Structure formats: C-alpha cells, structure tokens
Amino acid sequence: MPEPPLPLSPEEAEAAGERCNQLLSELGQVVLGQDDMLEQMLVTLVAGGHALIEGVPGTAKTLAIRGLARSLHAEFGRIQFTPDLMPTDVTGVNMLDEMQRAFVFQPGPIFADLLLADEINRAPAKTQAALLEAMEERQVTVDGRSHKLPAAFSVFASQNPVEYEGTYPLPEAQLDRFLLKIRVDYPAEEAEVAILDRHAMGFDAADPETFGLSASLGREGLLALRRDARRVRLDPELRRYVVALVRRTRQDPSLALGASPRASVALSRAAQARALVQGRDFVVPEDVKAMAIPVLRHRVMLTAEAEVEGVTADARVAAVVESVEAPR
C-alpha cells in the first residue's frame, strides 16, 4: 500500500489560502456577482477535477474560465459542441505526412490546460464519450496509441438548462466524471449595474488584456495546490460522515438512483480543496455540507413521481444533509 502523504502544516495551509483568496478577489472584480461560481470553480481546479456548469447564456461562464486560465498563464481551449461534431474533432487525428511518408498525430483542441466544452449536450453520445478517457486518465487514445494531456488539464463543460431542443442528455457515466455540477444564476441588480460601469470604462470580455489580473498561480502553483489539498487532514469521523451522506441518498424514496462510492471520493476531495482554499489544514463538517449539493446533485436520479410533484435533486440532497447528524 502507498504511504499517506505528510499532513499539511497550518502555516502552509494559511499561505495557500492567501494565494487563493487573492486570486478570488481579483476574479471577483472581473466576473461580478458570481462569487459562489468562482469559488466552486477554484475548488474544482484545486481538487484536480472537472466541472459541469449549468446556466443560461450571458452569465459569465466563459469569462470566468478565461480569467482562471490567464491567472495560471495556462493554455485555454474551447470546443463548441454541435450535433455534427465528431470524436476526432475533439481528440485529434493521425494525418499522412507526405514528406515523412508516415502518419503523424495532429492534436485536437482537447490538448489544453483548461478546456471549455461549450454546450456539451448538443453533441451526440459518441462525441461526448471522447472526453471520458481524457477526464478519467488525462490521456486520449487514437488508433491504439495513447497521448498524454497537460498535467494541469481540467474540463469545464457548460449546458443550457432551458433550451432542450436538439440536445442529447449526458450519460450517467459522463456525469459521474464531473467532480461538481455548478449552477449559475443571474447576478443581483447592483452587480448588473457594476457590469455596465466596467464596460463603460473600457472592459472587454473578449480581450484578456482588459481584465486587470495581477494575481498569478501559474501551472506549477496550481499543481502545488493540488498536492497540498491531498495533504489536508480529513479525520476518520468526517470520512464516516461523508460515507453516511452518500449512503443515505440510496435510501431516499424520492430517488430512483442514489450516489455511488465514487461520490464519496469526490465529496471528500472537494471538502479538502475547499478547506485549503479557505486556508485551513483540516476539514470541518461545514466543508462537507457546502460541497454536498454541487457534488451530489448530478449523481442522483429522481423517481418519476417526484419529478411530477416538482421535487428537485438539490432539495433532496439538502434534505439528506439535514437528516444525517454531523460530527462535533
């Protein structure tokens, strides 16, 4: 068995939290009125996971990812998912090089540090499946040969919650690869006024030079945060609490499908990342509770009766959290 990582010291955690808070503060001046989305996106990155972002167009999803990529000095990739998109349009393809008289691999847009899979549910299942290996193993296989993706690789996929015509539901196996499902709502009225004020002063969402970001983690800084997150202390009673929450979803009569053991791993990783972002070297029950809905909402399935009655997955997960006593 591999040895557990050395515990993180309070000083190391505090320093990591300061870097994260500085980045969140600056991103909050670029993406106004979406603080919860920004924190959950950073938790996703620090945990080394991927996120499915659900929100109507125009709520700064792409802007937030561009801002994160710029703060990392990372390569930003974007794929617009459409019904005619092929798997090779995502992963890349072997092309015949006449000069070398051999097939040469031409990487697809998936070879980026931060990838935006825009409107992922507009592509058929076989194209969505092109992301499965990449998200799980950080590599793609083309014609029997594997190609490694960048170490910082993370997928942020978006989907529109309102427009369903011409869309394909994401398979359960695909959904389970996303660490978090982040819901994005409209910003508050004052934030919308501030957005117009910023544009009047020259801000342009299409021009990263106008973002005004000076906080920089860098790729190596992000990878260091990921290593630190795995060193955040998660006490045995909190591990049991995580498992109890996940198992309770399988007993809820409103849920036809409860969360799997992979959800327990995801919830513990997200709680560790949140603790680090907040500058702590240990997880508290509030970390688990805060991450429960974004981690579990896409891993459970409502019964047909519950859907007819207007019950939501968020409401059922919240009820599960309320029903399980947290350790003191």
If one counts the domains in the chain, the total is: 2
User: Do 241 and 223 belong together in one domain?
Assistant: no
User: Do 147 and 197 belong together in one domain?
Assistant: yes
Largest CA distance in the chain: 68
Mean pLDDT across 194-218: 85
pTM of the model: 0.93
Beta-sheet pairing, 76-80 with 51-54: unpaired
Q: Are 15 and 121 in contact (CB under 8 A)?
A: no
Q: Are 271 and 247 in contact (CB under 8 A)?
A: no
What pLDDT score was predicted for residue 252? Answer: 95
DSSP 282: B
DSSP, residue by residue, 141-194: EETTEEEEPPTT-EEEEEE-SS--TT--PPPHHHHTT-SEEEE--PPPHHHHHH
User: Do 122 and 165 belong together in one domain?
Assistant: yes
Give the confidence band of 164 by pLDDT, cuts at 50, 70, 90: low
d(CA 277, CA 263): 21
Give the confidence band of 97 by pLDDT, cuts at 50, 70, 90: confident
Four-CA torsion 211, 212, 218, 221, nearest 10 degrees: -110
User: Do 133 and 220 belong together in one domain?
Assistant: yes
Judge whether residue 216 has pLDDT over 80.
Answer: no
d(CA 97, CA 64): 39
What pLDDT score was predicted for residue 34? Answer: 94
Could you tell me the end-to-end alpha-carbon distance of the chain, in angstroms, rounded to an integer?
Answer: 31
Give the confidence band of 163 by pLDDT, cuts at 50, 70, 90: low
Query: Which of 231, 257, 289 is a domain's end point?
Result: 231
User: Do 67 and 145 belong together in one domain?
Assistant: yes
DSSP, residue by residue, 196-263: HHHHHTT--TT-GGGS------HHHHHHHHHHHHHTSB--HHHHHHHHHHHHHHTT-TTEEE---HHH
d(CA 8, CA 319): 33
d(CA 245, CA 326): 10
Give the confidence band of 161 by pLDDT, cuts at 50, 70, 90: confident
Judge whether residue 300 has pLDDT over 70.
Answer: yes
User: Do 226 and 241 belong together in one domain?
Assistant: no
User: Do 113 and 155 belong together in one domain?
Assistant: yes
User: Do 218 and 237 belong together in one domain?
Assistant: no
Domain range for 194: 1-231
Where residue 256 sits, what CATH number does that domain have? 1.10.8.80
CA 84 vs CA 87, 92, 123, 173: distances in Å: 10, 16, 7, 22
Beta-sheet pairing, 255-257 with 301-302: antiparallel
Judge whether residue 247 has pLDDT over 90.
Answer: yes
Query: Which of 189, 212, 231 is a domain's end point?
Result: 231
Q: Are 12 and 44 in contact (CB under 8 A)?
A: no
Give the confidence band of 172 by pLDDT, cuts at 50, 70, 90: confident
User: Do 213 and 289 belong together in one domain?
Assistant: no
User: Do 119 and 10 belong together in one domain?
Assistant: yes
Give the confidence band of 165 by pLDDT, cuts at 50, 70, 90: low
User: Do 1 and 64 belong together in one domain?
Assistant: yes
Q: What percent of the chain has pLDDT over 70?
A: 97
Residue corresponding to tokens 């907040």: 278
Query: Which of 201, 231, 261 is a domain's end point?
Result: 231
Where residue 166 sits, what CATH number does that domain have? 3.40.50.300
Residue corresponding to tokens 């994401």: 170
User: Do 300 and 286 belong together in one domain?
Assistant: yes
What pLDDT score was predicted for residue 249? Answer: 97
Q: What is the pLDDT of residues 100-156, one digit of tens each?
A: 778 888 999 999 999 999 999 888 888 888 898 999 999 999 888 999 999 999 999
Mean pLDDT across 265-290: 98
3-state DSSP percent of the chain in helix, strand and coil, to 5: 50, 15, 35
What pLDDT score was predicted for residue 156? Answer: 95
Other CB atoms within 10 A of residue 162 CB: 8
